[in-house]
Amino acid sequence: MNARRVLAALALIALAGGTAACGSDTGGAGDGGGAAATEVRLGFFPNITHATALVGVEKGLYAKDLGVPVKTSTFNAGPAAIEALFSGAIDATYIGPNPAINAWQKSKGQAIKIVAGAASGGVFLVVKPGIDSVEDLKGKKIATPQLGNTQDVALRYWLTSKGIKTDTKGGGEVHIVPQENSQTLQTFATGDIDGAWVPEPFASRLVLESGGKILLDERDLWPNKEFVITHLIVRQEWAKQHPDLVKKLLQAHVEANKIIADDPEGAARTANAAIEKLTQKPLKPEVLKSAFKNITFTNDPIASSLTLSAKHAEEVGLLEPVDLNGIYDLGPLNEILAAAGQQAVADR
């Protein structure tokens, strides 16, 4: 099975694994920019890298700003969120970079737009003690969250840049083992894998709970130590019908990020309370503190990193060449930022 078919199959599997957690935050007025809307359907992950959404929901910001009921759905993987968006089950979702790229390519630029950034950084290569260099990784098993996902591409590209060969079947000089992050916590603890390239809070958990050590902070591979890990996308059809709602959604988004910037510790607790409600499994205080400080929450989508990430995926054979021109629509966000006296963000 070629890489594209593998990715397609994984998308269907992930769709089956997506979890729905629905709430109804009620409001009043409809959207003045298009056809009347009865609700807004927003997706996100119950993960600390999606703290913008978690804080926004927990603080009631989306309900306040949108003025219509907000139905929230949570997902465990990017492909599941994209399939929900493609089917019209959700209108907007927080998501990682590679699923957005794949959605843009699959729909020939017709399905989605990236309208804001949300988070940068927070990804690490965590390994067993005794592994001190990239050369020490040869012959070892290293986990990633999913074949072709953002972290999987980053690991494969980094190893390739160091002259180390891998393949999509777990062969090569370093054996890459795609598996769910929850499984990685177990396999690392039992010694079935030797390391993992994972986002927070899983990186901190591997260190604090299983004695792992950080071999690489992915921020060190990017200009200015910035790269997108989460951003906000909307369904194009919905956005065209309801431009006012898009702007109101972004208003709540910007407010949530301001709360995080003004009081990171309080925001971390708020996000963790939301995670507990959604999963019944809050992060331990030491994990929460470690993970939250490793992530930068930002309205900037860091567009240059998305372009480079796509090139990396192409170079490791997990993405056909894709033209990302037009994937961003940052006009509404920049209007809100200007009104707040904040600097505009760029789409390249």
- Domains belonging to the chain, first-starting first, are 40-121+226-340 (3.40.190.10), 123-224 (3.40.190.10)
pLDDT per residue of the chain (348 residues) written in tens, 0 to 9: 444 433 343 333 333 333 333 333 333 333 334 457 789 999 999 999 999 999 999 999 999 999 999 999 999 888 899 999 999 999 999 999 989 999 999 999 999 999 999 999 999 999 999 999 999 999 999 999 989 889 999 999 999 999 999 999 999 999 999 999 999 999 999 999 999 999 999 999 999 999 999 999 999 999 999 999 999 999 999 999 999 999 999 999 999 999 999 999 999 999 999 999 999 999 999 999 999 999 999 999 999 999 999 999 999 999 999 999 999 999 999 999 999 999 999 998
pTM of the model: 0.87
Q: How deeply is 24 buried, as exposed, middle or buried, from its count of CB atoms within 10 A (0-12, 13-18, 19+)?
A: exposed
pLDDT at position 76 is 85
297 vs 56: CA distance, rounded Å: 13
The vertex-46 CA angle with 38 and 41, nearest 5°, equals: 10
328 vs 348: CA distance, rounded Å: 9
Q: What is the sign, positive or negative, of the torsion defined by CA atoms of 47, 49, 51, 54?
A: negative
Contact 316, 153 (CB under 8 A): yes
What does R_g of the chain's alpha carbons equal in angstroms? 19
pLDDT digits (tens, 9 = 90+) for 179-188: 999 999 999 9
